[in-house]
Structure 1
Amino acid sequence: DRLGLLVWQDLMFACSIYELTDDFIEEIHWEIIDNIRRIRHHPSLALICGNNENEVAVADWNIPSLEYSKASYRRQYHELIPEWLTAIAPELIYWPSSPSSGHMFESPNSDCSGDMHYWGVWHNTEPFTYYRKYYPRFMSEFGLQSFPELKTVKTFALESDFNIFSKVMEHHQKNSTANSKILTYIGMMFRYPKDFSSLLYVSQLIQAEGIRYGVEHMRRHYGRCMGALYWQLNDCWPVASWSSIDYYHRYKALHYHSSKFYQPILLSLEEGKDEVMVHITNDCLSAVHGQIKWQLETFSGEVIQQGSLSVSVSAQQAVRVLKRTFQLTEEERCSTVFRAELWVEDDCICSNQVSFVPDKHLELKKPTITLKLNSQGARQTLELESDTFCKYVEIGFPKAEVRVSDNYFCLFAHEKKHVTFETKNSDLLSEIQVRSLVDSYL
């Protein structure tokens, strides 16, 4: 309520059809009544959803006793529960199932109406580019797994267990084919990591980049797609999972990425083999007026092309503001980066970057990154500068619990990046560990 975050509240029914005996109906009746009375006053409560994936189970999963299942489903979610909710909380919005088209058993997981779950990326190991095949009205579930960071793994595994197919690591992975899927996606995006710690690191990058790729696509189609909820936020134990925050409340790369791809004004880049389209999504209630500054540059910072243009995007609109085509050799595709920034007056309010080949084909150089720490009481400001372009710069504190203002970011050659954090230990500079993508394989 205080943060202004809206809550989609599921009732606790999922992936099943229930036998509606009198005792069962009595039990779920009072369970629902008690819990809705407990939460109904919260202004953050956006809707009550009857179940997760039960409608699509009846429609598409070839379950037995189909006619009984349809009748049971209809009675539970379209008769009993709406009646109970109307009696105690008529002001609440009720959505019978997720996903659902809003028309019982009619294409419940379509991208044409209602909400959609999409698991082709992940469960079917489809590439991230498949996100761009769909234009859901509301994407209420999609995701990718990753491992937690090494500090978290050390709470349940010995160094002798530092292999993702060891007994301990497999015990902390409850999706039986997930570890092989993670390796598959690493192979699609990155060079093979050189050690266990690097594998954990790049697993978080596939998760972060995959979800970013999907959310940016959906937000470029604001008006048709009005929301995207990734699965999942957090963990109930230290484990490999779909979460963006691990059991110890440590942010994964995805959580840092999400603060950028969910920001109210988004600049996103849609790349082709030799072209880039720049999009602005304005989720605010007022127009945004500013200037796009863009450039194509080498990893050493040499500018090949650059330009700027004035833009104006109305409230709650998504607009393609620029398309640029370049004549690049294969060598240049592997050694250049396109970047764009949106400036409003004297402030850069959002930015993005993209290359023309998968990250595994980029000819990244081993960087020299200099660090400077400035302390003002408990507030620390870390300045980073590199002699070459770095992707996914990670700032780690192996011996301390520190949350930085930004992480897993791009660092451009000879440009300073400032990251802040809170700690009373001003001697942390010697303990800070910094790595980037190239360090995962060289």
Structure 2
Amino acid sequence: MNYLSQTYLYPSDFKMLLYASQLLQAEAIRYGVEHWRRNRGACMGAVYWQLNDIWPVASWSSIDYYGRWKALHYFAKRFFAPIMISCEEIGETTNRPAVVMQPSEIETSARLNIANETFEDIEGTVHWELRDHSSKVLQQGCERIAVPALSSHWLEKIDFAQTDFLQNYLSFSFEKDHKVVSEGTVLFTAPKHFCFLDPELSYTIEKNLIKIKASNYAKNVWISSPDSDLILSDNFFDMNAGEKTIQILSGKPEALELHSVYNIK
């Protein structure tokens, strides 16, 4: 609970506590695995504890006893993808990790990295956008890069010295053959300090597809159904204002509920 309260606003109900605790675990392991993959050569692999449960229990598993995917399992699908873009962000949390530290100037910067764990050299385009909490683009850039097989490729550091780290975030993606193969977002402060706007999440269903719409930036969008155990192509994901389409792999999308970090309070 100590780590949770350092990261998120304290949940006011049990459902949000379950949601926040799953995110806390998933974000911690994501942070580690992305760091290790960026530093390929110093680290040559990573596994996490644990995959599943042999009985119903509260545990570190990413799949529960009933086969339901927790946040960590969806995160693992992204951070163990053969081609992955990630970000080494510097912000309030890295500049002032302890609450007892004296106020000081906060460096805000980012370095993007492409990890290529395939046996082929790849080429593609990195896109990044500094956005405000409504997803309005404040600054952007792109770079065409080549990444050798089984390697990690760093891009140059980007300085965001003048940004408002309480309201602005960075979104980024790697595009190969005109298709986005990896994407993500980072904050420059703890989620509990970020000034989220209500993303006003809504959805429509067409056959086995769920279309999610957000009016503002939404972090860790959680799609759930109280009446059915869903397994989706993606869940607990970040999205800019706009639409995102998710495929239903199993379960019935009945009476869907949508939440994001905005709801943790």
TM-score > 0.5 by shorter chain: yes
CA shift at 1:424, angstroms? 8.2
1:248 to 60, 66, 78: 66
CA shift at 1:304, angstroms? 0.6
User: How many Å separate the matches in 2 of 1:423 and 1:289?
Assistant: 34
User: How many pairs align?
Assistant: 249
1:388 to 216, 220, 223: 216
Counterpart in 2 of 1:364?
Answer: 196
Q: Is the 8 A contact 1:297 1:336 kept in 2?
A: yes
Counterpart in 1 of 2:117?
Answer: 283
Counterpart in 2 of 1:212?
Answer: 30
Q: Is the 8 A contact 2:231 2:250 kept in 1?
A: no
User: How many Å separate the matches in 1 of 2:251 and 2:13?
Assistant: 33
**Higher Rg of the two aligned structures:** 1
Counterpart in 2 of 1:437?
Answer: 261
Q: Mind listing any 5+ residue stretches in structure 1 that lack a counterpart? A: 1-182
Do the aligned partners of residues 209 and 424 (structure 1) sit closer, same or farther apart at CA in structure 2, a change above 3 Å counting? closer
Q: Residue type matched to 1:421 in 2?
A: I
Higher strand share: 2
| Correspondence 1:10-89 to 2 at 5 A | none
Q: Is the 8 A contact 1:198 1:440 kept in 2?
A: yes
| Correspondence 1:19-168 to 2 at 5 A | none
User: How many Å separate the matches in 2 of 1:307 and 1:279?
Assistant: 15
Q: Is the 8 A contact 1:292 1:341 kept in 2?
A: yes
Counterpart in 2 of 1:306?
Answer: 140
User: How many Å separate the matches in 2 of 1:302 and 1:208?
Assistant: 27
1:265 equivalent to 2:89? Answer no
Q: Residue type matched to 1:304 in 2?
A: L
CA shift at 1:242, angstroms? 1.1
1:406 to 234, 251, 254: 234
Partner SS, residue 199 of structure 1: helix
CA shift at 1:423, angstroms? 5.7
User: How many Å separate the matches in 2 of 1:288 and 1:401?
Assistant: 37
Partner SS, residue 149 of structure 2: coil
Q: Mind listing any 5+ residue stretches in structure 2 that lack a counterpart? A: 92-107
1:335 equivalent to 2:167? Answer yes
User: How many Å separate the matches in 2 of 1:259 and 1:275?
Assistant: 27
Q: Residue type matched to 1:233 in 2?
A: L
Q: Residue type matched to 2:228 in 1?
A: A
User: How many Å separate the matches in 1 of 2:228 and 2:24?
Assistant: 26
Q: Residue type matched to 1:282 in 2?
A: N
User: How many Å separate the matches in 2 of 1:320 and 1:386?
Assistant: 31
Do the aligned partners of residues 419 and 236 (structure 1) sit closer, same or farther apart at CA in structure 2, a change above 3 Å counting? same
User: How many Å separate the matches in 1 of 2:51 and 2:176?
Assistant: 32
Per-residue displacement from partner, 1:156-183 (whole Å, max 9, x unpaired)? xxxxxxxxxxxxxxxxxxxxxxxxxxx0
2:50 to 220, 232, 256: 232
User: How many Å separate the matches in 1 of 2:188 and 2:217?
Assistant: 15
Q: Is the 8 A contact 2:231 2:251 kept in 1?
A: no
Q: Is the 8 A contact 2:230 2:251 kept in 1?
A: no
1:417 to 202, 226, 244: 244
User: How many Å separate the matches in 2 of 1:284 and 1:432?
Assistant: 37
